[in-house]
Structure 1
Amino acid sequence: MIKILFLALFSLNLASFCQENYYLLISRDEAFISQISEFSDIVYDSGRTRAVKLKKPLSDIPSDIKVFLKPVKIGELYNAPADHISKKAFNKEISDLISTINLSTYKSYVENITYSGKRNTGGLDLSSDSGNRKTADFIWEKFSSFGYKTEKHCYKDRKADKECNIIARTKGNFENKRKIVIVGHFDSVGYQDAGADDNASGAAGVLELARVFSQYKTERELIFAAVNGEENSIAGTYALINRFKETGDLGKIDFAVNMDMIAWNKDGIIEIETNKEFKAKAEEVASLAKTYTSLKPYIAMPAWGSDHVPFLEQGIFSYLSIEHWQDHNPCYHKSCDKIDSLNWNYALEILKLNAAVIAENK
């Protein structure tokens, strides 16, 4: 009887544990982190992945804090080195392709985007000559110069301008072909000539990979998407998903690569972030990182807060390539996020990884 009672109590406690309400933090802004600490205890904290248990009911949490909490199960939380993953067989064709990435060209793209002024989407309410508009025009010109079919995908009317993504597609008849999307946001939180790491680095990465792959024939259509509005609830990529639904492209997308904050870390660690159901695919990315780069890959789950999320919500494999948060840029979302603090060699390694992923599947 005592044994049965013990087992019953153990099962009850285990069930209670499994039913605990845990929440993934989907913001890392300092003000939010300070506020949520008053209402919660941390139950998981590794890299970008942090989850909490609330000290009071969710209904008692202020709405401006609650909006950055996403329900999560303990078993979904994971952020760890991919030490168990082996290298893939070396492919000289892929190695030759990634060797064409030009760091000087990439730097020039980062500089042009960073020095465009203030790139927040709010600037589109104030002027038709905002930093956001200048950046969109610059990206459009570059995509066009590479020979892509280039489009301004405008999804929102602003007071003085339109809020647009810039989309480049491989030329040719790819209507019935599978597709790969390469995405990175070019908007920022709005400081003058800042947002170099977040996310001029990622948007410039989209440009450089577009330049590289413009010289290669691919079986799949490559879609390069420099998206807007990521800092405002990932607005641009959600609009892009709707556009893909309208054109019939959504069901033809094999996967999406997202670059966000790729140019700061000193530790050589990259987080490859996706959702649990795609862990095996993320491990394939980690394997390519070990084969063609000097990066130390970590697998992170679940996904939050960047342009890979809308694809994952549609059941499409997507991963975020981002700096490891234990050594992240201290100028995140600050005016000091400037060109002179960037780690160009780290960015180059991430570009090499993402080029290898595309080349492996092109």
Structure 2
Amino acid sequence: MPLNIRTVALTLALGALILAPPAHAAEPKRNGEGANSEQQGGSDGAGIYAAARVQYSGSVTKTGSTGNISSADVNWSPPPCWYAPYLGAKDFKKEMSKNIETAKNQPGMTGHAGAAIGEMQRHYEDDYGWTDTPGYKDYNVDKDGEGMFWAAVENPAEPDILKRKACSDLPFWVDNGEAPPPQYEQAITPEMLAALAYQHMELPGTKVSLAPEAITKVNLPTWAWLDEAVFDEVQATAAINVPGFNIQATTTAKPKSLTLSPGTTDATTIPADGGCPIVDGRIGEPYAKGKAKETPPCGIVYHRSSNGGTIPLKAALTWEISWTGTGQAGPIGMPDGTIEATQDITVEEIQSVNR
């Protein structure tokens, strides 16, 4: 069968083949912040699933959804899919042979699609090589306990369905303690787990303290600062732990700088570029009585009133991100992350009385 036709047939065959999650890998459990949160790839109960769930812990979302931090690098993104351990040989044989028979009996499983199903069956039963993948004799049951079949997992947080389904290779065998074959570039790695931890990380909100608070005056400096609690280091961990394969990665976020956007062109930021760096472990300085005539290290001066309405002050806190993981000697940098928050500010004219 020509390769391009064979590829189409394989796609049709895999579309008919549904590997259901094993009984112990049913609906993922969600736990509260600070506890383990397990998530299985996929979102609709269909497709090929990995029994080895990614387990999240630390400062992660309670529901397993995408966190509240955005990468400062628009070209950076977490993996849309990956390959991970699925089942041991005996369990895989039971699951795969059942579903192959189901697929063969589906309407329309003739021609190229039917032939592809037959080739797939020979691949796992009769040591028949599939493209550049060696075949397996009786589903490798003589090696049960010595390794696992790996399969594709979709990242449910990836919005592009084509990217989610890009890991389309047949399940393949990996011996315990061995690396997956090099052609499977999307096999799960510590770096990928670090990216998934980044994606699910939940960081403290960025509410800037202001003085005056909420209502300020034209040409009067508004002091801005962040509470010291914001500067605590935040960590999120993602891990896969199955016999013969245990990897994890911890992503760490540290506050780096605050950028103020006044919400109007009739304003001046302090510093002029709107960026307030960390100085002596803090951003900005709390206002105190007697400092009315001083210039704040971080703040805004509005030059026109809001005419009875409000002006949206946007504050973006930038976090420095790094990760450590299995096999890594030290922290490795990742793109900075940002969290934005908007606060409504009322700007009033200063009232004066002429005598």
Q: The TM-score by the shorter chain falls in which range? A: under 0.3
Higher RCO structure, 1 or 2 (CA under 8 Å, sep 6+): 1
Q: Which protein shows a greater Rg?
A: 2
Question: Higher helix proportion, which one?
Answer: 1
Question: Higher strand proportion, which one?
Answer: 2
